[in-house]
Chains A and B, each alone.
Chain A
Amino acid sequence: MRFSEIWSTALRSILKNKRRSILTMLGIIIGIASVVTILAIGDGFSNWVTKSITNNKAGKVETQIVYSPNETANSSADSYNDRDLMLVRQVTGIAKVRQTSEDSDYNQIALPVKTKNKNVLIHYTSHASSPVIAGRRLTTTDNAIGNQVAVIDASLAKSLYGGATNALHHGVPIDNQLYEIVGVRSAVSSSVNFSDAVNGTVPANITIPKKVHQKFTQNTASGDLLVLSLRKGAKASTVNRRVINVLKAQGSMRNQGEYQSADPAAEADTFGKILSVITYFITAVAGISLFIAGIGVMNMMYISVAERTTEIGIRRAMGARQHDIRLQFLLESATLTIFGGLIGYGLGVLLAVAISALPMMPFQASFSFGAFALAFGVSTAVGLIFGVMPANAAARKDLIEIIR
C-alpha cells in the first residue's frame, strides 16, 4: 500500500477513537507545553537582559576595565598606551577594544540657590565655550592649564547673585569645589532636560573645563576605561579575568595604579545561571512527563493491537505485508504524539504570551523556530520509540491463528 494511504488509515483510526486518543495525548501536551513555555520565557528573558546590559545596537555584550591611579600617580599620564591595547586585543574572546573615559560631557547636579536646591545642567568641555554676554569665554588654555573657572548662564547668574555682571568673579560650588565665574552666557531655557543634553550639544547652565573636573573626581570613581566587545559565546567574567591578569603582569601603568573590572555583564551571568537552573528543572519535569506519556501511548497501542487482531488478519489476507501492518501502527502512534506535540506547542505559546502579559513581567516571551522544531521532533520521537514494540507485535501476529 502507498505510504499516503497507510497514513490516512492511521489517521482515521485515531479520529474514530477520539476520547481515548485525546486522553493518551494529554501527557505529551503537558510535557511539550511546559518546555515551550519555559523556552519562550527564557529566550525573552535573556534577550531582555542582553538588551539592558549592552548599549550597542548589535546586541553584543560589552564589559569594561577601569584603571584607577594611586594617590601618588601622575594624573596626566595616559592610563593605557598602544602596547596595552595591543595586549588586550590578543586576549581570547575579545572582538574589539575601545578606550574611553567614563565621564560624560554633561551632568545634572543639584545646586544650592538661596534656600533651595536647583537642578542645573553642567557641561564639561575641553574646547572653547559658547559666546558670553559678560566676562569672557572658556578657552582651550583653561582646560590645558587647569584653571578652576566657570561660565554660567544669565538666569542662574540672576538667581545666584542678582545679575550677570554681579556674578563675575564670584564662586559657584560644583562637586564641593568652588569655581570662579569668569563669564555669563545668555539664559538657557529651563525646558532643556537631561536626556536632550545627552543626545547632542545642548546649552548648559554651567560650563567648566573638563580636565579640571576630572582632576577632582578621578580619585573616587573615574580613571580611564577600556570597553571590551566580546565575541559571541565568550563569557564576560572569564574574559575580564584574563584581561586583568594580562594588564597586571604587563600593563604600562601597573605600578602606578590598579586595574579593576567594571562588568555590567557579570549580572547577566548570574541571571543566566538562575535561568538555566529553572530551565533544567522544568525540562526534567517535562522529560518525566513525556516518558510517562510515551508509556501511555505504548499501552494504548498494545490495547489497540489486541482489539484489532481481526482487522490485522483481514488486512494480511488481503495482501498486507508485515511491513504494511508495522507502518500502519507506527504511523498511528507517531501521528497521535505529533498531534499532541502541536497542541502542546500551541498551548505553550498561549501560556508564554499570557505570562508575559502579566503586569509584573518586564519582558516579552520570544518564540524561536528551534523551540517549534524541538516540540515537533520530541513528540515524533516519543511516538516512534514507544510505538515500535506494539507495531512489531501487530506485524508478527501469526496469520493462521488470527484468520480463523
Chain B
Amino acid sequence: MLIELTAVNKYYQNGENRFQVLQDINLKIAAGEFLTIMGPSGAGKTSLINLIGFIDRSYLGSYKFNGQSYQTASDSALAHIRNQSVGFVFQNFKLIGNNTILENVELPLLYGGMTKKKARPIVERALERVGLPNSSQKIPNELSGGQQQRVAIARALVHQPKFIIADEPTGALDSKTSSEIMQIFKELNQTEQTTIVLVTHDPQVSQYGERLIKLLDGAIIADEEVKHHALL
C-alpha cells in the first residue's frame, strides 16, 4: 500500500480551545489511484493533504508511506522524502514570479541534486507533456492562468514522484480551462499510472477521478467509487 493512514487525529490549540481538525481518519491509497477529496471549507481537506504530503507531521495516529513512518523524521529527511515522492499543485499555482518557467520547473530536480544542464532537457519534455513547448524562457506573468497551472503540473511531475497532490487546482480557473487541466490529470493517471490525490469543491471536477472521499468536520463521511456521468 502506497499510503496508509490509521486512526489519525489532529488538533489545533487555539488559546484555551482545542479544535479537532481531523477525526479518526482511516485511509488507504494504492499506487495508481485517482482519489478525489471533497468537503466544505474547514472540513480538514488541507490538513489531510499537508499530512499526506510530508508538510505537517504533528498528528496522532499512524501514517505509513510505503510501509514506513516519517513522523519523527528530521526536517532534512522530510525535505528529502518530499523531493523524491511528492509533486504539489496548488490552487494559486505558486510559481516563483521573477523566475523563468524553466527555473520554476527545474526546482525539484535541482533539490534532488541534479545539475541545471542535466535538468534542462527533462524540463523541456515535462513542458511538452503538459502542452507548453518552447515556453521555458518566459516568466509566469506572461502566461494565462491555465498555462500557469500547466507549468505547475509540469513542475509536479518533472521528477517522477510517487504521487501528485493537487489542492483545488481548478479553483482559480474558468470552467473551460478547468476541464483542460483536469484532462491532463486524467491522462497522467491513465497513461502513466501516476497516483493523484486531488482536493476540490467542485462536483464537476470530482467526475474525473475514480474514487471519492467526502470529509465533514474532519471525519470521512463517505468513501465511494465515482459514478461517472457524461463528461462535458
List chain A positions with a Cβ less than 8 A from chain B: 1-2, 4-5, 8, 12-13, 16, 310-311, 313-324, 399-400, 403-404
Contact = CB atoms under 8 A, between A and B. Distances in A.
A contacts with B: majority SS: helix
A312 B79 CA distance: 13
A319 B112 contact: yes
Nearest to B93: A314
A314 B107 contact: yes
Among B56, B95, B107, B115, residue most surrounded by chain A Cβ atoms (within 10 Å):
B107
B110 A1 contact: yes
Nearest to B87: A318
B136 interface: no
A320 B115 CA distance: 15
A376 B137 CA distance: 34
Contacts of B155: 318
B46 interface: yes
A315 B55 contact: no
Contacts of A313: 94
Contacts of A317: 53, 55, 82, 88, 94
Given A317-B55, A319-B84, A321-B76, A2 B113 contact: yes
A310 B108 contact: no
B183 interface: no
Interface in B199-215: none
Nearest to B95: A314
Return the 8 tightest CB-CB contacts between A and B, nearest first.
A319-B83, A319-B111, A321-B79, A318-B107, A321-B76, A318-B108, A1-B110, A311-B96
Nearest to B155: A318
Interface in B96-119: 96, 98-99, 103, 107-108, 110-113, 115-116
B92 to A, nearest CB: 9
A4 B53 CA distance: 28
Contacts of A399: 55
A393 to B, nearest CB: 16
Contacts of A13: 98
30 contacts: A1-B113, A2-B113, A5-B110, A5-B115, A5-B116, A8-B116, A12-B99, A12-B103, A310-B94, A310-B96, A313-B94, A314-B94, A314-B95, A314-B96, A314-B107, A315-B107, A315-B111, A317-B82, A318-B82, A318-B111, A319-B80, A319-B82, A319-B83, A319-B112, A321-B76, A321-B80, A322-B75, A322-B79, A400-B50, A403-B94
B83 A318 contact: yes
A317 to B, nearest CB: 5
A16 B103 CA distance: 14
Contacts of B96: 310-311, 314
B171 to A, nearest CB: 13
B160 to A, nearest CB: 13
A126 to B, nearest CB: 83
A310 B94 CA distance: 7
Interface in B173-203: none
A64 B137 CA distance: 75
A8 B142 CA distance: 23
Given A1-B110, A322-B75, 13 more contacts: A1-B111, A4-B115, A310-B94, A311-B96, A313-B94, A314-B95, A315-B107, A317-B88, A319-B79, A319-B111, A319-B112, A322-B79, A324-B79
A316 B79 CA distance: 7
B91 to A, nearest CB: 10
B75 A321 contact: yes
B159 to A, nearest CB: 8
B90 to A, nearest CB: 8
Contacts of A5: 110, 115-116
Among B88, B96, B111, B113, residue most surrounded by chain A Cβ atoms (within 10 Å):
B111
